[in-house]
Structure 1
Amino acid sequence: MPHHSPDHRDTMTNVLRFGYRVTKYDPADRDEQGRYIGDQDSTSDHGPIEAAYLEAVATFAAETGVQRLCIREPELSVINFGLEPTVPGHGLTGLFPDDLSGYHDGAEVPMKVWLELVRAMLRDNGAWCRLEAEHRFSVHVGYDQYLYIGSDQRCERAVTHTRALGLFPERIDRSPYGAETNEPGQRTPADDTFWGKVTALVATGRAGLLEENPIEGVSRWHRLDDGGIDRVRERLTPRARVAVWPSLSGDPVTVLASLSAHHLVQLVWEDQDGHVRATITDAPSPRVLDGARAATAISCVAGEQPPLLAAVLPDQDGVLRARWGTEPDQEHHRPVPPTP
C-alpha cells in the first residue's frame, strides 16, 4: 500500500499567485500527517488516469491563455530513483533529435511537445524538467504522480473540469519542486572576460579540455588545443554550464594505473577517431582505454579537484537567465588573504 508524504520545502521563486497540486489521490484517504493511505497505485496506469492528468494540465494552460512553454533546468536520470524502469531515450524519442538539440534550458516548445514531456515525467521515463511561461504558468511533476501547476489566473473552470475527470485539484501556496530562490553553486557568466581567461590558459598550456553540461546528468567534452576555442564556442548548447580542465595526458596507461580502487572518478579519453568520451567509474576495466590516444581522470568528490574555470552561458543579449550554477572553480577555491 503506498504511503505518500508531500514535501514542504520552501523552494519556489517567482511564485505564481494560484498554485494547485493535482493528483489521483482522494484527500479523504490521508492520515493525520497528510500521507496517502488509500489503495491507488503510485505509478502511472499508462491509460485513462494518465490521460486525465494530461487533459487537466492542458485545461489549466488553456484557461491561463498559454500554449507554448519554456523548458527549465532539464535533467536526464543517471540513476533511476523512480518506481518504473527508465526507457531507451528517457521518454524523449520522437520529441527531439537524437543529439537532444532543442532539449535545453530556455527552449520554447509547443503544447503537443510539453504534454509529452509531462507524460514522460509521470511515467518516470528518466527525463525531468520544469515547464514555464514566465510570470504566467508553470507545471512540473514530483514523485508518486504528484502534478504541480501554477497560474496567474484562478482557473476555476479548470479546477471544476479536473474534478469531473476524477482527479483531485488542491490549492497550495507553492510547489516543493519549484525553482529555488538561491540556486546552489557559482553563477559566473561565460562572457568575453571568461573566454579571455580560457584563451590565456590554453596559450600557456595549462588548459586543453572543456566540459559542457547542457542537461543535468549529461556531459559533453571538447578539446581546446590548437586554436579550437572559437569552434567549440559555436557548438555549445544555449545556457549550458561549462568547466575548463587541463589537457588530456598522452600516456593513458599511466592515467589508468594511477586510479585508486573505490575512488569515484570521471575517466575522460580521446579515441582513435578523435572523439572525446567519458565514463564515471570506481573500478575501470583494464581495457577501457585500449586504443585511446590520450586520457585523464577527474575526481568526483566535491571540492577535491575543482576545474580551472567554470561558468554558465548567458543568452545572446549577454543576460544570464539560467538559474543553475556550477561547482566553484579554482579561482573561487583560493583562500582569502588575511587583512593587514
Structure 2
Amino acid sequence: MTIHFTWRITKYNPKYRDEKGIYLRDEWTSVSEIGSITNQDVILTIHDYISTENRYVEAILDMMSCLNIQKLSISGLEKRENTLDITNFPSLYSEKMRSLYDQATNGLWLEKDQISDISRLILREKMWCKLKCDSKMYIHFGYDFYMFIGSEMMCEDTINNIEKSGLYVEDFISPIKEED
C-alpha cells in the first residue's frame, strides 16, 4: 500500500484565504497566547485552547482507527530544550507527558495514548517530529496549528467527522518531505 490521499487539517476557515492560500484573519496560533486577547476581542482561555487541541488529537486517533493502525513511529525529531520547560502553564503537562518528552527518539514506536501526548507537545511548540506507519499513514505538523495527514485510504466518514468537530479539511499535499 502507499499514500493516496493527503489533507491539510486546520482550525482556519478556508474562505478567509486569498488566491495564494494565505490566511487573512488574525487568529491565535500558539499556546503562548493563552490569556491574551484574540482577534474577536476575547481572551483565549486554557479551556478554549485545550478544546481546539483536543480536536486535532481526536482527528489523528480517528484516522488511525479508520486505518486499523495501533502505533506510529517518530522520525525527524527536533526538541526545543534538553529537558521540557513547563514554566508557562505547568498544569498542561502530565508526568507521563514529561517522561515521554525525555524518552522520545527517532524510530520509537508510540501507542495511541503516547501519540496523544506527543501531538500535544508538538502543538505546544515543545518539539517537532513526523509520525508515520510505513506507507499506510503519516502525520506532519506545520507552524501555527497546521497539520497534514496522508493515508492509504480515503476514510470518508472519518474526514466528515473531523469537519463536524469544527476543523477544516482540505485536499492538500504536505509541504514537509517524507524522506525517512
Give the TM-score taking structure 2 as reference length: 0.77
- The structure in which a higher percent of residues are helix is 2
After TM superposition, the structure 1 = structure 2 runs for residues 177-192 of structure 1, keeping only pairs within 5 Å, are 177-180=176-179
**How much does 1:87 deviate?**
3.4
- What residue is the counterpart of 1:133 in the other structure? 133
The structure-2 alpha-carbon separation of the partners of 1:15 and 1:23, relative to structure 1 and needing over 3 Å to count, comes to farther
Query: Which amino acid letter does the alignment assign opposite residue 169 of structure 1?
Result: V
The alpha-carbon deviation at position 146 of structure 1 amounts to: 0.1
How many residues end up aligned between the 2 structures?
Answer: 157
CA contact (8 A) 2:12 2:168 kept: yes
Q: Does 1:25 pair with 2:46?
A: no
Partner of 1:288: none
Aligned to 1:169: 169
- Find the counterpart in structure 2 of residue 62 from structure 1: 65
Residues 93 and 178 of structure 1: CA distance in aligned 2, closer, same or farther (over 3 Å): farther
**How many angstroms apart in 2 are the aligned matches of 1:122 and 1:73?**
16
Q: What aligned pairs does 1:264-303 form with structure 2 within 5 A after superposition?
A: none
Q: 1:147 to 1:92 in 2, by over 3 A?
A: farther
Aligned to 1:262: none
Quickly say closer, same or farther: Cα 1:59–1:97, change in 2 above 3 A.
Answer: closer
Q: Is the 8 A contact 1:73 1:104 kept in 2?
A: no
- Return closer, same or farther for 1:143/1:175 CA change in 2, 3 Å cut-off: same
Partners of 1:92 and 1:105 in 2: CA distance:
22
> For the residues of structure 1 that align with 2:71 and 2:56, how far apart are their CA atoms?
18
Letter in 2 for 1:66: I
Quote the residue 2:23 is aligned against. Answer: 36
1:293-335 deviations in whole A, cap 9, x for unaligned?
xxxxxxxxxxxxxxxxxxxxxxxxxxxxxx4xxxxxxxxxxxx
Counterpart position of 2:79 = 76
Letter in 1 for 2:106: D
SS of the residue aligned with 2:106?
coil
Please point out which of 47, 52, 59 is paired with 1:49: 52
Q: Counterpart of 1:55 in structure 2: which amino acid?
A: E
TM-fit CA distance, 1:111? 0.6
* DSSP 3-state at the match of 1:144: coil
CA distance in 1, matches of 2:78, 2:94: 11
- What is the rounded CA distance, in whole Å, between the counterparts of 2:64 and 2:101 in structure 1? 29
Structure 1: segments with no counterpart, 5+ residues: 1-13, 79-85, 181-322, 324-340
Counterpart residue identity of residue 146, structure 1:
Y
- State yes or no: 1:113 paired with 2:100: no
Matches of 1:98 and 1:46, distance apart in 2:
21
Counterpart Cα distance in 2 of 1:71 and 1:108 = 7
Greater relative contact order structure (CA < 8 Å, 6+ sep)? 2
Residues 17-48 of structure 1: per-residue CA shift (max 9 Å, x gap): 11111001111001122111124322245321
Determine if contact 1:24/1:40 at 8 Å carries over to the other structure: no
Q: Deviations over 1:247-281 (max 9, x none)?
A: xxxxxxxxxxxxxxxxxxxxxxxxxxxxxxxxxxx
Q: What is the CA–CA distance in structure 2 between the aligned matches of 1:134 and 1:41, rounded to whole Å?
A: 34
Show the 5 A alignment for 1:82-97: 87=86, 94-95=96-97, 97=99
Distance 1:92 1:138, change over 3 A: farther
Tell me the percent identity: 28
1:75–1:128 Cα contact (<8 Å) kept: yes
Q: Radius of gyration: which is bigger? A: 1
Matches of 1:93 and 1:49, distance apart in 2: 22
User: What's the TM-score, normalizing by structure 1?
Assistant: 0.42
- The corresponding residue for 1:100 is 102
Q: Which ranges of 4 or more aligned residues in structure 1 deviate by more than 4 Å?
A: 96-99
Matched residue of 1:143: which SS?
A: coil
Aligned partners of 1:30 and 1:36 also within 8 Å: yes
What displacement does 1:97 show? 4.3
Q: Residues 35 and 73 (structure 1 numbering): CA distance in 2 closer, same or farther, change over 3 Å? A: same
Q: CA RMSD in A?
A: 2.5
Taking the aligned partners of 1:116 and 1:99, their CA distance within structure 2 comes to 9
> Residues 92 and 108 from structure 1, CA distance in 2 versus in 1: closer, same or farther, beyond 3 angstroms?
farther
**d(CA) in 1 for partners of 2:101, 2:117:** 18
Q: CA deviation at 1:137?
A: 0.9
